[in-house]
Amino acid sequence: MSSLRLIVFGRQGAGKGTQAVRLADHYGIPHISTGDMLRAAAASGSDFGRQVKEIMDSGSLVSDEVMEGVVAERLAQPDAAAGFLLDGYPRTPGQAEYLQTLLAPDGVQAAINLEVPEDVVVDRITGRRVCSSCGATYALGRDESAVSGLCANCGGEVLQRPDDTEDAVRKRLALYAESTEPLLNWFRERDLLVDVDGVGDPDDIAAALVARIDERRSGAPGAGS
């Protein structure tokens, strides 16, 4: 079977990170985030890697041209030969065009969109509490530490982060929708988008994702979104 090349999308708080790790483990492919790619390039010691490191150290934004080089370098590594799961790239239709050209003739098999209603995501994020000492995370309604305000791991103070208020979260979600919808449409128009319900038991969601991906790989009828 050909190598498995996937992209994963999802609102903040949709459980994308959790499911991406599960998918990568299930298929034995690396879960590669934008940050991973940039750090790998900067640590490579190559002329290009030193250029990336200078950009990162200066706090400047990485241009599309530089990001294309980062992606090409990372996806050429041996661990990506059997496939990969990309998280955080592409971010624009132009980057998607570049990625498909880079991976020609096969391109990616699917762009997974983990769908969770905005109100559910807002509840998840606003209910999140974080230990100010060790960074452990807790959830209201599930973890005692979120209620008591004391971390079960280190005894540190458990707080709500300033950017986890409802107003801040809704602003971030609006920005995500504005920037991501054109990209989702790009993949949808090419019959590459696979929408999967992200609400429910994580095990059930993971099973649904695997089923949809395997349908794609087998070429089963109705394997699109």
For 174-184, the pLDDT digits (tens) are 999 999 999 99
The catalytically annotated residue of 39, 53, 170, 172 is 172
Q: Is 172 a catalytic residue?
A: yes
Tell me what pLDDT residue 221 has: 45
Which of 39, 91, 188, 217 is catalytic? The answer is: 91
Q: Which of 5, 11, 16, 22 is catalytic?
A: 16
Can you give the pLDDT at residue 220? 55
How would CATH label the architecture of 4-29+105-218? 3-Layer(aba) Sandwich (3.40)
Query: Is 129 labeled as catalytic in the residue annotation?
Result: no
170 is catalytic: no
SS3 assignment, position 80: helix
The residue extents of the domains of the chain are: 4-29+105-218
Q: What is the mean pLDDT of each run of 10 residues along the chain (225 residues)?
A: 88 91 96 88 86 86 88 92 94 95 93 95 95 94 94 96 93 92 96 95 95 86 49
Tokens of 171: 């602003």
pLDDT of the residue at 224:
53
Written as one letter, the residue type at 76 is A
Can you tell me the distance from the alpha carbon of 97 to that of 101, in angstroms, rounded to the nearest whole number? 6
Q: Is the peptide bond before 90 cis (omega within 30 degrees of 0)?
A: yes
- Look up residue 124 and give its amino acid: R
E strands, the chain, are 4-10, 31-33, 83-87, 110-115, 128-131, 137-139, 158-159, 193-197
Q: Which of 142, 161, 171, 190 is catalytic?
A: 161
Per-residue pLDDT, 222? 47
**218 HSE (CA, 13 A, CB side):** 10
Please confirm, yes or no, whether 190 is among the known catalytic residues.
no
Name the strand (E) or helix (H) holding 19.
helix 16-27
124 classed as catalytic: no
Q: Which of 5, 128, 212, 216 is catalytic?
A: 128
